[in-house]
Amino acid sequence: MMKKFRRFAILSVAILLLMCSSRVFADGIQSGADHILTIQNTDGSFTWEHGPSTAGPGHKNVTGPTGMGLLSAYGVTGDADHLTGATKAADFLSAQTFGWVGTYNPFFLLKTYDATGTTAYKDKATEYFTQLTAGTYTGGNGVTTYNTAGYISAVQSGRAGNLINLRPWEFAPLAYAAQRVGSGAQATAFTTALTDGINTLDDALDYDLLGLSGGVFGLGLTGTDFDPTAGSFASAGSTSDLADILAGFQNTNGAWAWDDALKDTVGEEDSQTTAYAMLALMSVNTSGQYNSEIVAGRNYLLGTQLGSGGFLSYPGYPGEGENIEVEGEVVWALSETAAVPEPATVALLGIGLAGLAGGAARRKWKKKAVDNS
């Protein structure tokens, strides 16, 4: 009787812990998305760096990744206001006639299409690739037009020198979007731009971990196995190896720093890098092999959440303040990983279930033995 009680007690504790942890995640995501809504402009856009909310227009390039926070949050909270905010952002982008493609915007429109079934969002993302094929996509100045190769070159030129590590992060969502609604040639071109960016990662420059996160994220999204031949992470032999390297740079507190040399340096944690590292590991977490790292990152971010629901870009430097794009990316990462359970809770649940199963097996064996008798 006591053994039976202990088994039920362990199972009850595990279920209670699972429910409590899920509630904490949901509350953090709810308040984070609510905070983003207070910064959203009335036209659906978002303004760099942190509002305040106006009539707009805001900045096109940050609207997609910020909107991903609202869209992903809706999948957890079920709050119609979060979906409305996401569709307002998608409507804003869909209405633009030139220079609307921040690199995460076609990705956001496709994900909003997936969530709503509104074909206009998919059509707008497709339009971008169709225009690139024709060489008629018009850039932000309203004059310069681009084809696929020209647009890739423009992104590479903008992410050169000390910013070169950002290339994989920029091309990750475009490779995914091209794979879905672009031509085969465009899917190849953007995936090649992604892998070329990984080959140029330089750990002596800034943003190497954000670039590595973007690289793994893009490879995971597109299902690409890549063996880098150059750059600071050329020792990797596969996408899995790159993910392992990224996981190895996680701080003991669950965060990732903005530079690989600053691992476990107090105050150098970077919310954006942490968010994308979580998304990256989630994209290749095929058998739960990165659950512990994902949960640690999630707990770190939730632990830094402000009373307003927002998040500091650099928790160790409060004076740097908040950034609406980063807050959107953090809520996106939290939402995408909300279903990953706490390892300790899973272990307890397993023990409890195993105990019950064992008891059931013993009872069945005793019954079978009696019958045979």
- pLDDT tens figures, 203-255: 999 999 999 999 999 999 999 999 999 999 999 999 999 999 999 999 999 99
CA distance 187 to 208: 25
| Least confident among 19-23, 26-30, 189-193, 329-333 | 19-23
Q: From CA 307, how far away is CA 278, in angstroms rounded?
A: 23
CATH number of 27-352: 1.50.10.20
Confidence (pLDDT) at 16: 41
Neighbouring residues of 51: CB distance < 8 A, sequence distance ≥ 6: 38, 39, 41, 324
Whether 334 and 29 have beta carbons less than 8 Å apart is answered as yes
298's CB contacts (< 8 A; 6+ apart) are 25, 254, 278, 333, 334, 337, 338, 340
Question: Tell me, what's the pLDDT at 6?
Answer: 53
DSSP conformational letter for 312: B
- Tell which residue, 227, 225, 207, has the closest CA to residue 161: 207
Q: Please report, rounded to a whole number, the percentage of residues in the chain having pLDDT higher than 90.
A: 84
pLDDT at 4: 52
Q: Is a pLDDT exceeding 70 seen at residue 349?
A: no
Of 18-32, 203-217, 357-371, the range with the lowest mean pLDDT is 357-371
Q: What's the mean pLDDT when you consider all of the chain?
A: 90
pTM of the shown model: 0.88
Is pLDDT at 323 greater than 70 in this prediction? yes
pLDDT of 51 reads: 87
Q: Is the pLDDT of residue 312 over 50?
A: yes
Q: What is the pLDDT of residues 167-201, one digit of tens each?
A: 999 999 999 999 999 999 999 999 999 999 999 99
| Residue 172: CB atoms within 10 Å | 33
Q: If we measure between CA atoms, which residue out of 257, 263, 302 comes closest to residue 276?
A: 257
Cβ–Cβ under 8 Å, residues 106 and 128: yes
Is the C-alpha dihedral spanning 61, 64, 67, 69 positive or negative?
Answer: negative
Which helix (H) or strand (E) covers residue 42, if one does?
none
**Tens of pLDDT, residues 30-69:** 999 999 999 999 999 999 999 899 999 999 999 999 999 9
CA–CA separation, 192 and 207 (whole Å): 21
